Amino acid sequence: MNLILIGAGNRGMEIYAHWIKAKHPDVKFVAMADPNVNKRLRFSRDFNIPPEACYDSWESILSQDKLADAAIISTQDFMHYEPTIQALSKGYHVLLEKPISGSKKELIDLREHAKAQKRILSIAHVLRYSDFFGVIKHLLDDKVIGELKSIQHEENIAYYHYAHSFVRGPWNRSDLANPIILAKACHDMDLMAWYVDSKCIRVSSFGTQNTLIPKNKLKDAPRRCGTHCPHAETCVYEVNKLYGQAKAQHLAKIIENEYGSLEKGLNSSNYGRCVYDMDNDVMETQTTLLEFENGVHVSFHLCAFTDEISRYLHLMGTEGEIRGNTLERKIVVKRYDEKEERVIQIGESDSLHEGGDAGIVKGFIEEVRANNIENGRTSVDKSIMSHLMSLAAEASRLSHRVIDMEVFEKEIDA
């Protein structure tokens, strides 16, 4: 089986492509596309493909005759629609990095185009493939806690991750990327839709961004971060301190891959800017309430100001409850008619997102080999609802009103 990669960033090359190389020697990359010359050179070397098979744009690679069985598309958020449409038209099956699109019209177009071309369009909702979240889904399907009634779900982004991606990084402005409730939390929205297994009918959301903004910049702080700043010793966002932590090494690696070295990246890019001196407009906290057709209610909260990247879940049913903590990789089941709790300890995974990164790629390869066009676990059909929920949440936040999903879905944008 042969693949092409469009977008050789952290997700596309460092996670998906390298996992395939390590675990699936029978699957080969035959070409790639990325505008960054360093990434093209690295990909050519690491995956043993000729430099002429490394293109500088998605347009140039997709102007060629069909080169492989499938394409992994992991471009920036606003560069998903056109390459995906063209790849499907060329006859490629596609694994598309989330989010699909911030446009309701483009969501529908992609779904219908994949059907018309009889191609697989799988969305990288990796949490559906993780052992941790998969166990909870099995418990719900087996009615271990009776009928599900309510969910409380928290996504803890971590202060260093938020500063890297949503203040200094490429997802820091709404005119350049999708809102955080879609760009980051469509994973969580998809998880809730998967668990509840019913249509979402109403959405309400509230968000705040009032901390990492210019008016809070500390006195005499320079424009660029570093040890020369008078606040370097006390500021947790000082870049040498932030990227020197073991838990932030994967973020430092992203900068190294982009700029050739961490030092060069911090000295020449926004990653080295004062965290209070950016033009970001991304919510730091956001709370979203979801009502489903079957009567289940979900409260979802995301927050930038946490020490670790983690997710907490509390699922309440008619006969018991489930609590999950990804940081401890532990799931606790308590039935009301039993004295003892049941503790399920999930083993260590071989990839990020609780093993979901490996699972999504493995699942996609299996789907392509079986030509499983309609029943993929994260097919575009199954992924659109969570995207619409995220877009409705953002519409609610901006308009200060409850969004009726039936009306919202009919209001297709241009």
Residue 189 CA to residue 288 CA, distance in Å, equals 10
CB atoms within 10 A of CB 343: 11
Provide the CB-side half-sphere exposure for 109 (13 A, CA). Answer: 17
What are the residue ranges spanned by the domains of the chain? 2-127+360-376, 128-212+280-353+382-410, 219-272
> CATH classification of 2-127+360-376 is 3.30.70.260, yes or no?
no
pLDDT in the model for residue 231: 96
Query: Any alpha helices (H) in 309-404, and if so which ranges?
Result: 356-370, 380-399
pLDDT in the model for residue 352: 54
- CATH homologous superfamily of 128-212+280-353+382-410 equals Dihydrodipicolinate Reductase; domain 2 (3.30.360.10)
Distance of CA 197 to the CA centre of its chain: 21
N-to-C CA span, the chain: 38
Residue 242 CA to residue 304 CA, distance in Å, equals 15
Distance of CA 407 to the CA centre of its chain: 27
Give the list of residues 6+ apart from residue 309 with CB closer than 8 angstroms, or none. Answer: 156, 157, 158, 161, 247
Tell me the pLDDT band of 414, cut-offs 50, 70 and 90: very low
What does the pLDDT average to over 3-29?
92
pLDDT in the model for residue 132: 92
- pTM value is 0.84
Average pLDDT along the chain: 92
pLDDT in the model for residue 355: 61
Q: What pLDDT, in 10s, does the model give residues 151-188?
A: 999 999 999 999 999 999 999 998 888 899 998 998 89
